[in-house]
Amino acid sequence: MSMKKKKIGINASYLRKPHTGIGQVTTNFLKMLVRDKIQETCLAGRQARYKQDDLEFVLYLEEDIPKDFKLPDNFSKKIFLPVYKRDDLIRKIWWEKFLLPRLVRKDGCDVFISLYQSPTVLDKSIRHIMIVHDIIPKLFSQYLDNARKKLYWKLMEYGIKMADKIIAVSKRTEKDLIEHLSIGADKITTEYIDVDDTYKIEAQNFASLREQNILKKYKINPGYILAGGGYEVRKNVEGAVRAYKLLLERNKKENFLPNFPRLAIYGKVLPESLSLATPIEKILRELNLTKHVILLGEVPQKDLPALFENAVIFIYPSFYEGFGMQILEAMNVGTPAITSKVSSLPEVGGDSVLYCNPDDISDIAMVLKNVLTNYDLREQLKNRGQERAKQFSWEKFSEKILNIIEEM
């Protein structure tokens, strides 16, 4: 007698936002999942209760999937929105908290996967796995600067606590969940994520990226210092800029670099009225750096590997990261990186990046000078980074989730 198929629902909403961190996780997890190989690898590794054909997947979406994203026969999709369609917190709460659980229950899912922390709470008959990337609003109160954000976080915190199993993307996030949300360690497992496949192109293929005039598009020549990843105050782009200014002024006196590189910063510039936004344009004017720093703006994912590869160094002195994907992106491409010795960043960088104190501009500048003036050090960091990057794998991440499903 054949076994009843196990139906697995997945919140794949962030497929519509592929350039965000959660969008990358959603896209790459599903790419692995739709490959027969990953299901076979997971389910053939030991005496599995479920064969590949016994698993049925349902993707829950706010927009249709890209046309080039082909689904196997054991996959289906449900696209739906509330009457209120503006993409803001009201719609987000309505979709995640009310409409999604109702449809998951109606569809008879046995297991549900939330690919990010959310307010979704399901009936106890449905086993719920939730990926938690960070709990930043709990740690930084400035992220809760209005009533809607406070409500959303309250609902999200409850959703995290009610999940049956949590997968944290770093040991730091796991510790935060235990310490700040009082979640039992036995309920949490940690599995590292990876970067998008665009960063894993072999080095010799970057020549073709340059031939596409990517650097010309951004009006920049090779050999710049790269920073970015977002203009939230937490990302500490201001620290990178002020360290750059300090080093630039020192170089005028000491001349340790005949041709001091420009600083290029990628990311969408946020309105200065936002409390969490770094007023980058104002800072550059005050420091008289507008001729030395180029703001690249929001950069498509396909352009970023070439921008990383042509940088002499990537600097990312963030105050806090749940994972630190930007550092891993630099490591994959072979760009030497400087980052903070706080939160999850040392977990990602290991001994393949250099660390600074994000609160100390002089320290950031000192580390930056060490790398800029030492070619051998840059080569060591390049080789170490590319070697360490191999330890991170979407296949491992996906297998972890499938193994948990099998055990439920």
Q: List all residues 6 or more positions away from 101 whose beta carbon is below 8 Å from its beta carbon.
A: 120, 121, 122, 123
Considering the domain 197-389 in this protein, what is its CATH number?
A: 3.40.50.2000
Considering the domain 6-194+393-407 in this protein, what is its CATH number?
A: 3.40.50.2000
pLDDT at 204: 45
Contact 303, 214 (CB under 8 A): yes
CA distance 103 to 97: 11
* C-alpha of 149 from chain center: 21
Q: List all residues 6 or more positions away from 266 whose beta carbon is below 8 Å from its beta carbon.
A: 226, 227, 228, 229, 296, 297, 298, 299, 304, 307
Q: What is the pLDDT along the chain (408 residues), one digit of tens a residue?
A: 445 789 999 999 999 998 889 999 999 999 999 885 444 544 444 444 445 567 899 999 999 998 888 899 999 999 999 999 999 999 999 999 999 999 999 999 999 999 999 999 999 999 999 999 999 999 998 899 899 999 999 999 999 999 999 999 999 999 999 999 999 999 999 999 999 988 986 544 555 555 468 888 999 999 999 999 999 999 999 999 999 999 999 999 999 999 999 999 999 998 888 888 999 999 999 999 999 999 999 998 889 999 999 999 999 999 999 999 999 999 999 999 999 999 999 999 999 999 999 999 999 999 999 999 999 999 999 999 999 999 999 999 999 999 999 888
- Break the chain into its structural domains and give their ranges: 6-194+393-407, 197-389
Helix (H), strand (E) at residue 59: strand 55-61
pLDDT at 158: 98
Paired tokens of 387: 């070697």
> Where does 262-400 show beta strands of DSSP type E?
263-266, 293-297, 311-316, 337-340, 354-356
CA distance 7 to 264: 47
Q: Do domains 6-194+393-407 and 197-389 have the same CATH topology?
A: yes
- Candidates 65, 64, 54, 4; CA nearest to 30 is 65
Do strands 311-316 and 337-340 pair parallel, antiparallel, or not at all (unpaired)?
Answer: parallel
- Helices (H) and strands (E) counted in the chain, each on its own, are 17, 13
Contact 338, 315 (CB under 8 A): yes
What is the pTM for the complete model shown? 0.91
Side-chain-side CA neighbours of residue 155 (13 Å): 19
